Structure 1
Amino acid sequence: MGKKLYITEKPSVAASFAEVLGMNITKQDKSRGYAESEHSVVTWCFGHLITMAYPDAYDPKYREWKVEHLPIIPEEYKYIVIDDQGVKKQFETIKTLMLREDIDLIYACTDSGREGEYIYRLVYEQSGSNKSARRVWISSQTEESVKEGIRNAKDISEYDSLAQAAYSRAKEDWLFGMNFSRIYTCLYGRKVSNLLKESKSSVIAIGRVMTCVLGLVVDREQEIRNFVPKKHYGIAASFLSCDSNLLYKGRWVPQDKKDSKEADKEEKYISREEAQKVIEELKGHPGKIKKVEVKTKKEQPPLLFNLAELQSEANKKFKLPVDKTLEIAQGLYEKKLITYPRTDSRVLSTDVLEEIPKVLNGLYKNAEYKDYVLKIKEMGDLKVTKSTKRYVDDSKVTDHYAIIPTYVTAETARMDDNTRNVYNLIVKRFLAIFFPPAVYNTVRVETAVNKEIFVSNAKTLKEAGWKEVYEVSVAKQDEELTEVPIHLLAKNEAAEVKDFELEEKETKPPSRYTDGSLIITMEKAGKFIEDEELREQIKTSGIGTSATRAGIIKKLKDIGYIRINSKTQVVTPTIKGEAIVEVVRRTAKELLSPSLTASWEKGLAMIENKETTQEVFEEKLYAYINKTINKVKKSGGSIDLTRIIDAEVKAK
């Protein structure tokens, strides 16, 4: 009986598999690129080893970038080993192992997702091997998960549709990048460099997702730049209740808003003259309390983290760049401390429920979480079961369930601050779901003055519930809450009007993106889509994927199209970024469209789910590339970019 070959995505993951298989990877093993025992061989990739070849691999004429060569659409795509000495050496090692006569079965142990599948398939194809293979699909790297993954490994053919989606994604990105980057560079590279006073002609990098994201940042900046603030006015009144002797404030709600549920949130924009007229009409009239509405409101614990939410929360709380949060989460995963981080799901699958008591026991051993776990145990039966649809729903789990801690007890004292902060977020968000809702007492008082209504609001935390464990970052609330105990006021109680105050306010422009809010915007691309049917169609697909979004933002920064403030994480476009968006807007504005970008992502998901074929998808892709490249050609490089720099200078 032959040996089994296990191929992982990274050396650190190989160590987890080797341990389960009874091996210890030595320095010598690391040097030769694999570890071997009597029954098993474990080797590893360094992430991607194979990449798609550049256009000149198809024809030497493509070394020169010329408009007349475009579009470039290969009949058959070529793949090459990445030009790096270490990568080439490791690929040859894996290839040799795959072709060894004593190896009779291969286990694909790369990351359980589209990109991990692609990494393995490329290596397998380039090696020339025809040996049987099985796919190991795991959501954490704990010993039990790895053992179960090996035990339940399915034939690699079960994942063919995932592989087809991965290949189509790579072809799509190649076609967008190679064709659009070339045509825009040929037609507008010199103009952009002149605009920036650069000596060399600029290379204009265009990407299927990257350019769309850049468009979002530029659109927001221009919206802020062109924003004209408007002054508007409101009225506040100070009251002294006659029986309870409470001094409190209320804000005027116009007649057409007073019965609306949105009365406290939406303000009617009125002029100074209108506001002063209302005040004059009300002067000298007494107040009377028309309504005292006391309610108890429950607030459920938040959903668990997916990657985008984790990145956003870490960005808000700790100003961590999104790519740094991903790096930390990946490291925690490889140390077996959390489950697979590159997930879009915010709920658990039913099959992971049996692991929860073990996870809680592991957290109990950490002094930082011990008391919380004790309280959960004191509550009796766990609050999260198969019937708890808010947190357990197989229909909402994609490749992986939400990010949660594993049963491995972390030594948080040995972690650096950033790692400890991210791990702490994941653990506390997980623990919170076992706690009861937070309970608030809310009070809404309506005071009438000559038929006009003034509203006062209060909100107090009655029972902390889950908030004892975890506090969510929330945007500042618009409605003002009073600390005065207005629940003591009584209906029909008279109130003396002490004073009216004219409040001057000003409309504000939208906020700039932070890289955390940009990640969430990419995930929820559907909100930009006016067509309801398409919005529903792509609600599970955003711009990019959980695995790629942070890298896209980082690339935009690295190539100088956006800036990210290191302290605030606020994102702004550069002049170059604005110029590129302007050119694209005037020549092929659909490249900036979130709906188009998200619909391509939806198409890939449909291949994966066998709802369409790779052939149908790629036929549409080629038609789009042909049509759009020809449209850009017609612009002939005639767009004037000088107004971009003029607008930027004026804005400063």
Structure 2
Amino acid sequence: MKLYIAEKPSLARAIAEVMPKPQQKAEGMITLPNGDCISWCIGHLLEQAEPDHYDEQYKKWRLEHLPIAPDVWQLKPKKGTSKQLSILKKLIKKADQIVHAGDPDREGQLLVDEVINHAGISQTKRQQVQRCLINDLNPSAVKQALADLRSNQDFVSLSTSALARSRADWLYGMNMTRAYTIQGQQAGYQGVLSVGRVQTPLLGLVVRRDLDIENFVSKPFYEVLAHLQTHSNETFTAKWLPSDACLPYQDEQGRVLVKGLAEKVVEKIHQQPAKVISNKQEKKRQAAPLPFSLSSLQIEAAKRFAMSASQVLASCQKLYEEYKLITYPRSDCRHLPAEQLKQASAIGQVLLQNLPQQQAHIEQANWQQKSRCWNDKKVTAHHAIIPTLKTYAADKLGASERKLYELIALQYLAQFFPDFEYQNQTIMLDIKGGQFCAKTKATLALGWKQLLSKPKQQAEVNLPVVKVGEILTCDHGELVEKNTQPPEHFTDATLLAAMTGISRYVIDADLRKILKDTDGLGTEATRASIIELLFKRGFLQRSGKQITATLVGKALILSLPEASTRPDMTAHWEYQLEKICQKEASYQHFMSQLLSQLNQLIEQAKHMPSSALSQLKDITPKKKPFRQYKRKTSTAKKPSRTKLKSSNQ
């Protein structure tokens, strides 16, 4: 008997749809005519056992117990999943061949692997497990995936990486949460102060931004504009570029802070000749933006529709599972396999039916054009989010689903449009020894921008035609006084952008260099839930689009060691986890480093000043205390002499 194990029931149904009929449905499984069987997980069926499962004394939260780290890791059935887990274990033991059909990502790999391992089958049988990677739930795509099975052994490193992250999160979050909650209680606060390797640096970003805004002192700065006139009485303006001699009077961003200096320049250039030093005109092209990953889609939807990250993910899951209108949504990839280009024209025909309001644009598409998005080398287990070959009736979708589907479709359609073409013109002038610059950008051809960009509100201004060496006249100078502005509060879009481009906030220069643009806090699948988690725990709050930290969130960050509140640590984790995926680093090395670091952090927590959390004494917690160290929350460990062992590693 061949057993197909899907990550969730919707995927199991999609597999069954392309299998021979008649089929027999039973509790937790679907049996095929030849005796093969399809079953499923319901997300994670297993989770890390809680500390008191290892030792009863850990039911009470005490500083002297910390750090806690298992010698032998144990999993337990998640609440409400025992029946399905039992069904799967029986089927796994009975099966002659197993096909792993978890979602095509790190978490999906571990999710099914840990159930297979938990069933206690032989090593030989585990090595014979096959892997099915399904990105699209439509029948043709599912058939193709089932015909292209690979050995599950090819994905061991992916599973190991996910396992390392899961255990590290448990260790870090559980121990740090207990340590700071106990210290909070001693200071008079009766809520749980949860700490996690992703949630806490994210909260730290918001707290530091809030403090920057609170402490910001606006300062005036000055610019000088030269109002110029040509021999044919055409006029334009050019901006003064301060020389190196002005550096003592400028801030780190090159803004002139001394009004008297700018006033002297205005006076100096009045009714003076202006010599054209250079006049550059450059025609440039800009390719269409790549199709969406989940994070890039969430950022764009937040900007356009003010949708939260969790709303986008929920709607995308419906579009994928229920309507089958888009490919796998939890993707961190923005490229497509070259083979997919063969479906482009057919997808175009589907878009004509699904998006009749875009008919004129769809008919302009050149379906033979191959953009930079088709790159097999940049596609891993999953590819960018794009429309499928499924048609639908517009009245069947909710408003959010309609908006997101059209956004995804237009981003895909843009791959078949010409580049955006524009011309940059830059005129450099010398006026009484000072340099001035005039710039414009003129559109030559909209190309793909006609699909994705809003029309400009103002007409573009062209600079006059002038020659190098030509002498113009500076009619007068103008002093422009401006004020420095504080940074803006985070929004859903900017907070997601910060999570995906976390290297911008990394302090360690060496680490910042090695992080790729795709590295970040959390994963595509977890970022939305992490943001919402901070709201549920009372650490963040919303005011319109603005996201700010609460007093509790701020106090927690200010009481923690800086290393725990900065993204450097978790960015380094993600870098190491990716190296495990690529078989360039080991699980053991990653965990030993983590445990050593955790020991130091717990010692710091034990000896923190009693005043660190005293401002929370009279604050009522948002919720009753609850366990905070489940998956994707935490980390912890025993003294360095403790050896980590694993029952399935």
Partner of 1:615: 588
1:362 corresponds to 2:335: no
1:466 corresponds to 2:448: yes
Q: Which residue of 481, 492, 496 maps to 1:519?
A: 496
Return the letter of the residue paired with 1:564: R
Residues in 2 aligned to 1:502 and 1:536: alpha-carbon distance in whole angstroms: 40
1:129-182 deviations in Å (ceiling 9; x for gaps): 555532211222221221122222223333222222222111111101111100
8 Å Cα contact 2:22-2:32 kept in structure 1: no
Partner of 1:383: 369
Q: Cα 1:635–1:190, aligned 2, differ >3 Å: closer, same or farther?
A: closer
Partner of 1:419: 401
1:63-94 deviations in Å (ceiling 9; x for gaps): 1000011111011122111223xx33333333
Equivalences for 1:101-500 in 2 at 5 Å?
101=94, 103-129=95-121, 133-191=129-187, 193=189, 201-243=190-232, 245-256=233-244, 267-287=254-274, 289-334=276-321, 335-366=323-354, 367-377=356-366, 382-384=368-370, 390-471=372-453, 483-489=460-466, 495-500=472-477
Return the letter of the residue paired with 1:609: Q
Residues in 2 aligned to 1:400 and 1:484: alpha-carbon distance in whole angstroms: 44
Return the letter of the residue paired with 2:404: V
* CA shift for structure 1 position 488: 4.1
Q: Which residue of 76, 82, 85 maps to 1:80?
A: 76
Q: Cα 1:625–1:23, aligned 2, differ >3 Å: closer, same or farther?
A: farther
For residue 635 of structure 1, give the secondary structure of its aligned residue in structure 2: coil
8 Å Cα contact 2:187-2:616 kept in structure 1: no
Query: Is there any run of 5+ residues in structure 1 with no aligned partner, and where?
Result: 194-200, 259-264, 647-652
Q: Cα 1:23–1:181, aligned 2, differ >3 Å: closer, same or farther?
A: farther
For residue 383 of structure 1, give the secondary structure of its aligned residue in structure 2: coil
For residue 464 of structure 2, give the secondary structure of its aligned residue in structure 1: helix
Partner of 1:20: 18
* CA shift for structure 1 position 530: 4.8
For residue 205 of structure 1, give the secondary structure of its aligned residue in structure 2: coil
Partner of 1:262: none
1:318-360 deviations in Å (ceiling 9; x for gaps): 1110111122222222232222222222222334333334333
Q: Which has the higher contact order (CA 8 A, sep 6+)?
A: 2
* CA shift for structure 1 position 489: 4.9
1:564 corresponds to 2:560: no
Q: Which residue of 29, 32, 36 maps to 1:37?
A: 32
1:8-38 deviations in Å (ceiling 9; x for gaps): 2222222211111145889xx48x3333231
For residue 465 of structure 1, give the secondary structure of its aligned residue in structure 2: coil
Q: Cα 1:534–1:240, aligned 2, differ >3 Å: closer, same or farther?
A: closer
Q: Cα 1:60–1:229, aligned 2, differ >3 Å: closer, same or farther?
A: same
1:97-126 deviations in Å (ceiling 9; x for gaps): 334x4x432222221111112221232233
* CA shift for structure 1 position 410: 4.2
Q: Cα 1:495–1:644, aligned 2, differ >3 Å: closer, same or farther?
A: farther
Report the number of matched residues: 607
Give TM-score, length-normalised by structure 2: 0.86
1:581 corresponds to 2:576: no
1:90 corresponds to 2:84: yes
Residues in 1 aligned to 2:534 and 2:326: alpha-carbon distance in whole angstroms: 29
Residues in 1 aligned to 2:484 and 2:177: alpha-carbon distance in whole angstroms: 40
Return the letter of the residue paired with 1:118: L
8 Å Cα contact 1:347-1:391 kept in structure 2: yes
Return the letter of the residue paired with 1:123: V
8 Å Cα contact 1:134-1:155 kept in structure 2: yes
8 Å Cα contact 1:544-1:598 kept in structure 2: no
Partner of 2:47: 51
8 Å Cα contact 1:253-1:267 kept in structure 2: no
Q: Cα 1:179–1:643, aligned 2, differ >3 Å: closer, same or farther?
A: closer
For residue 416 of structure 2, give the secondary structure of its aligned residue in structure 1: coil
Partner of 1:8: 6
Residues in 1 aligned to 2:582 and 2:268: alpha-carbon distance in whole angstroms: 66
Partner of 1:650: none
* CA shift for structure 1 position 291: 4.3
Q: Cα 1:46–1:504, aligned 2, differ >3 Å: closer, same or farther?
A: same
For residue 453 of structure 2, give the secondary structure of its aligned residue in structure 1: coil
Residues in 2 aligned to 1:541 and 1:639: alpha-carbon distance in whole angstroms: 33
Residues in 2 aligned to 1:487 and 1:22: alpha-carbon distance in whole angstroms: 72
For residue 294 of structure 1, give the secondary structure of its aligned residue in structure 2: strand
Q: Which residue of 546, 565, 574 maps to 2:524?
A: 546
8 Å Cα contact 1:561-1:577 kept in structure 2: yes
* CA shift for structure 1 position 275: 1.7
8 Å Cα contact 2:269-2:476 kept in structure 1: no
Query: Is there any run of 5+ residues in structure 2 with no aligned partner, and where?
Result: 247-251, 620-649
Residues in 1 aligned to 2:459 and 2:222: alpha-carbon distance in whole angstroms: 20
Q: Cα 1:496–1:108, aligned 2, differ >3 Å: closer, same or farther?
A: same
Residues in 2 aligned to 1:472 and 1:140: alpha-carbon distance in whole angstroms: 31
8 Å Cα contact 2:231-2:472 kept in structure 1: yes
For residue 98 of structure 1, give the secondary structure of its aligned residue in structure 2: helix
Residues in 1 aligned to 2:23 and 2:404: alpha-carbon distance in whole angstroms: 29
* CA shift for structure 1 position 95: 3.2
CA RMSD, Structure 1 to Structure 2 (Å): 3.1
1:495-534 deviations in Å (ceiling 9; x for gaps): 5544433211011122222222222222222233354543
In terms of mean alpha carbon deviation, does 490-499 or 108-117 score higher?
Answer: 490-499
Residues in 1 aligned to 2:283 and 2:290: alpha-carbon distance in whole angstroms: 22
Residues in 1 aligned to 2:461 and 2:97: alpha-carbon distance in whole angstroms: 73
Return the letter of the residue paired with 2:97: L
1:459-499 deviations in Å (ceiling 9; x for gaps): 2211111112222899x9xxxx9844423455566655444
Residues in 2 aligned to 1:392 and 1:148: alpha-carbon distance in whole angstroms: 19
For residue 362 of structure 1, give the secondary structure of its aligned residue in structure 2: helix
Residues in 1 aligned to 2:156 and 2:473: alpha-carbon distance in whole angstroms: 76
For residue 173 of structure 2, give the secondary structure of its aligned residue in structure 1: helix
Residues in 1 aligned to 2:96 and 2:580: alpha-carbon distance in whole angstroms: 31
Residues in 2 aligned to 1:364 and 1:191: alpha-carbon distance in whole angstroms: 64
Return the letter of the residue paired with 1:89: K
Residues in 1 aligned to 2:51 and 2:398: alpha-carbon distance in whole angstroms: 44
8 Å Cα contact 1:51-1:79 kept in structure 2: yes
